[in-house]
Chain A
Amino acid sequence: MPEHDPETLRPSGMTRRQFIKSVIAAGVVTCSGALFSGPAGAAPAGPPGAVERLITLDVNGQQRRVDVLPHETLAQTLRYKLGLTSVKIGCDRAECGSCTVLVDDVPRYSCSTLTHSVRGAKILTVEGLTRPDGGLHPLQQGVLDAQGFQCGYCAPGFLMATLGFLKTNPDPTRAELAHGVSGNLCRCQDYDKILTALQNGAASMRKA
């Protein structure tokens, strides 16, 4: 890749366009993040030896610089600072799974994961599944074709839990997949159609 190419990779591994996008997003961060910052937010620098606040996270293939409090959960960071609103907080206590994201390919309840604990890990949310041209991930497409989910509030969490499970078992039976996503609640309780749709999505992934 020539030096003057606008898509030149930067040292972080990001393209220029990705870098600019992340800076724009970081601008949003400051204003929306203020809503949830603690009293410590008033003090710009912590005492010596405190946890570094300004950290870099690998989210959906982008390096995102973000100011993170020591007690901040990954769900708070993703939703309120990085604007990834697919991450839903249904219970904030690891009961419902609507905040599920992948951390190094493993489904995690982001409401119960401290952001500082996932520095250096690859974080994936539903926003990161869609291709840059807007095309759907085969899992999303398979679910869409089968009209999976009703209100859809639980859908992002279910999709990420499924994706993580399929990495360990790409061709599950219906019962195996049900176990794989049993940490996710749906209150419309359309579980039968959800399983059918997720199986359809898994089949799409195997064909892709």
Chain B
Amino acid sequence: MPQHDAPFTPRLTGHDYVTPDLRAKLTGTARFSEDFRIEGMLACKLLTSPMPHAKVARLDTSAALAVPGVRAILTAEDLPAPADTVTDTGSVIRANKWAEPALTMEPLYAGEPVLAVAAATEAAAAEAIAKIDIAFSPLPFVIDPLDSLRPGGPAARGDGNVWLQPPAGPDGAPAMAQVGRLSWTEADFAAAGPHRLPLGKPSREWAYGDLEAGFAKAALVLDETFVTPNVSHQTLETRSTLAYWQNGKVFIHTGTQSTMQTVPAISRWLGIPPERIVFISEFTGGGFGSKGTAGISLVIPALLAKKANAPVMMRVGRELEQAIGRARPSCIGRLRAGFAADGRLLALDMYVLQDNGPYEENNDAAMSGRIVSLLYQPQAMRWRGLAVLTNTPTRMYQTGPGGVQGVMLMDRVLAKAARELKLDQVAIRRVNAPAGKAPYDAAGAGGKRPHATSAFVKEALDQGAAAFGWQARQALPRDLGDGRRRGLGVGLGSFVAGTIGFDGLFVITPEGRLRIHCGIGNLGTESFSDVQRVLADAMDVPWEACEIVWGDTGKHLPWSCVSGGSQTIHAMSRAALAASLDAKKKLKEIAAQTLGGAPEDYAVAGGRVSRASDGRGLDFGEAARRAMALGGAYDGHEISAGLHALTKASAQALAGQGLLAVAKDTFPRDGQSFSYVATFAEVEVDTATGMYRVVDFHAAADSGVVVHPRAFGGQVVGRSMLGLGHVTGQRWVFDRHYGMPLGSRFYQTKPPTILELPQKTGWSSVGIPDPETPIGARGIGEPPTGAAAAALLNALSDALGDDRFRRAPILPDMILASLEPDARPRDHGLSANV
């Protein structure tokens, strides 16, 4: 790929516009998966486990199959056996016997799907479910991770209760994690006492620096335990899915965070090659990590449709969604932190116990350590972690996975240290803030710690403090009269914010327009369209000359990143730029071949390729027609090497339609891309009722160049609201005797409503370009969540005092209880599921 040779003139990049998908959303013409209908479509109902852990002891489906209208019943026996798969790059994804199955005869949480019925109507399917003769034998279960670690405690699975990391093999390659049995000792529990996390044996750990020397030098050492909540994703669109098989291909409609990456995921689940998969997902009603690629909600109707030999729609209701719709894992953290008198974090010993749910190990605990090591730059640090299996719904990435928990655990420790050391809250964050190519984690194999591409956290703190009026507010009274108290808080957030190496693909049509093929999922962040603004700028064409094709793999889309982990604006603006360079190279070659001279005599501007010497040139339409006449690489009949197999297939299908531009992002990058947010909040607490609300709020982002300001602001504020919800009301509640979830509806695990929007809400961006990506833009979706949660926790501590709470969410009754004389912090035995 040629180097980035032309300066990038941002005519569209950085400016607001109306995205091409919005009109459909406002007129009701946007088709989400459940809005599709197809002739002969059957309805699907699931039989789910009534117990948190059981074995199916008896199953007879004959009476159910006899119900009029019933066409097929799918059970675990019908699932393809887990098998190793080889990706197009040759790497092997090994079968994991502990991975989540689509259906199971040994359910590991209440609400887990056991079997599925397809029938002509939902009523017939429901009648069939009622007529299934099934008996469950209950098995031991565990809801709270600490219960499982006690000597003789219950295990979530027959073969173990934790994820263990075996030592690396002789070649240094990391071994595959395994489920195994682990108990902590009575002495571990006794040493901690009831209100601190016991420091029993972990499964993973890393360290750098001299921890004990740091603690020895410290002017202040804190030892803090805190419990973050389990939070369901609660996408407003449930994961309803329509699937059917035609002409040997499977067609699947469902919401997703990546149109293209869902294809190989479906391939792995169903055991069929990608060319037999057509995936349609033009609109997605929220994902927040839970709709990453393919999961059980897609696999069940796909296999059922095959068995019934008819299309199957699986409508997912809210209660089923709560069971199978994924959730962020609760983390119990214990942090021992040593500070110098100026607030510098000298030593940090961090232990994170993760409530993992029953299946694959989540990365949240590990990520919490990474983000804390980056965001607060401790001079010496040890991180230890353990993922404990519980008989609760399957966990998955949620906005800032692990970063949110890490910040909720650590930022409040910083706030307390500032109060004890009599330091300003902004100052203590500034003195510890990462800057430039800041290191994180422990040293890798080469002996060097990995580093960020850039960090301008001090600038974000300063910008946010100025916008919020932080200094001036310090003088405001905390007592507002009538039992009302004011609290001020600042919190930081960070997360990964960009990947590399994906493909861009577009066609310059004979009409001279750009038809941009886009494999990005459309879940509302608008990045599927925003990154194409970069392409239009790079090609120097007006936005009106561009058309985006997205949301249907039958439309020939390139390999793209998953829109999760704030990758897209970074990864896919690079891919778009790479494709633009391929287009320019081809345009110049075509012009030289047609009009004479050398390709480098020509420049691309204003929808033309022309030379400065005499102004002669071709417009894009003429060039596209020439490309079609020339064939070869120009119109896509020859495809360059190095592209993803799925991009190649798409490009080949588009050959001959115009000038075909296709390229992989091979721009260099030094370091890992992270974004950062500094958030400021003022809270007002009514000590008579325990009610509180955020009255003023400002989030300042360090996320590089902003491509689409309104979408950016929507992400900053929207993801901040998610973080506020982690503090104000989102949680799980379980009946601990029977292991049954009690909160399966919105009102029981309540997300913020529009009335909880802070009275005054602001956002801003430092806007310093990231030096390691040509466009300078990084993602913003993740870091606001943790920053907002931390700012609110810290504001509540400012209003009410430290050591009031050891868990979130903080509900009004907890506030009232904390204000009782001789109140002790309430942590309910360090359980997240109260």
Contact = CB atoms under 8 A, between A and B. Distances in A.
Interface of A: 31-32, 34-39, 41-42, 84-86, 88, 90-93, 95-96, 98, 125-127, 129-130, 136, 140, 143-156, 159, 175, 178-179, 181-182, 184-195
Contacts of B717: 189-193
Given A85-B31, A155-B25, A150 B721 contact: no
Given A92-B318, A187-B288, A149 B236 contact: no
A65 B237 CA distance: 29
Contact of B22 (A130, A144, A190): A144
B167 interface: no
A147 B22 contact: yes
Given A86-B27, A88-B32, A90-B236, 8 more contacts: A34-B121, A36-B121, A39-B123, A86-B29, A144-B26, A151-B286, A151-B523, A152-B22
A181 B753 CA distance: 9
B341 interface: no
Given A151-B236, A182-B754, A129 B525 contact: no
Nearest to A90: B236
Contacts of B714: 147, 150, 188, 190, 192-193
B701 to A, nearest CB: 15
Nearest to B285: A153
B718 A88 contact: no
Contacts of A149: 22, 25-26, 524
Contacts of A39: 123-124, 127
Interface in B114-152: 120-124, 127
B755 A93 contact: no
A191 B757 contact: yes
Contact of B313 (A35, A42, A178, A195): A35
A191 B525 CA distance: 14
B640 interface: no
B710 A140 contact: no
A34 B238 CA distance: 22
12 contacts: A38-B121, A84-B28, A90-B236, A96-B746, A127-B28, A136-B23, A150-B525, A175-B759, A181-B754, A185-B236, A186-B754, A191-B757
Contacts of A98: 236
A90 B318 CA distance: 7
Which of B43, B123, B719, B755 has the most chain A CB within a 10 Å cutoff? B123
Contact of A188 (B26, B524, B713): B524
Nearest to A134: B27
Contacts of A88: 32, 236-237, 285
B236 A96 contact: yes
Nearest to B757: A191
Which of A125, A126, A179 has the most chain B CB within a 10 Å cutoff? A126
Contact of B754 (A92, A140, A147, A195): A195
B221 to A, nearest CB: 38
A91 B18 contact: no
A39 to B, nearest CB: 6
A152 B751 contact: no
B746 to A, nearest CB: 4
A147 B17 CA distance: 8
Which of A130, A143, A144, A152 has the most chain B CB within a 10 Å cutoff? A152
B27 A185 contact: no
Nearest to A183: B753
Interface string B686-717: 00000000000000000000000011011001
A35 B318 contact: no
**Chief secondary structure at chain B's binding surface:** loop
A34 B42 CA distance: 10
Contacts of B68: 42
Contacts, number: 181
Interface string B27-38: 111111001010
A145 B16 CA distance: 10
Contacts of B524: 149-152, 188
B710 A136 contact: no
**Chief secondary structure at chain A's binding surface:** loop
Interface string B233-269: 0111110000000000000000000000000000000
Contact of B710 (A41, A151, A193): A193
A107 B33 CA distance: 26
Interface string B423-440: 000000000000000000
B745 A36 contact: no
Contacts of B747: 95
Interface string B550-591: 000000000000000000000000000000000000000000
Which of B18, B19, B26, B29 has the most chain A CB within a 10 Å cutoff? B26
Contacts of A175: 759
A186 B22 contact: no
Nearest to B22: A144
Contacts of A129: 27
Contacts of B31: 85
Nearest to A42: B68
B526 interface: yes
Contacts of B120: 34-35
Contacts of A178: 754-755, 757
Contacts of A191: 717-718, 721, 752, 754, 757
A195 B284 contact: no
Nearest to A69: B123
A85 B19 contact: no
A186 B761 CA distance: 17
A153 B753 contact: no
B755 A179 contact: yes
Given A126-B26, A136-B27, A95 B745 contact: yes
Contacts of A154: 236
B130 to A, nearest CB: 11
Contact of A187 (B234, B283, B759): B234
Interface string B286-315: 101000000000000000000000000100
B711 A147 contact: yes
A35 B42 CA distance: 7
A155 B753 contact: no
Nearest to B43: A35
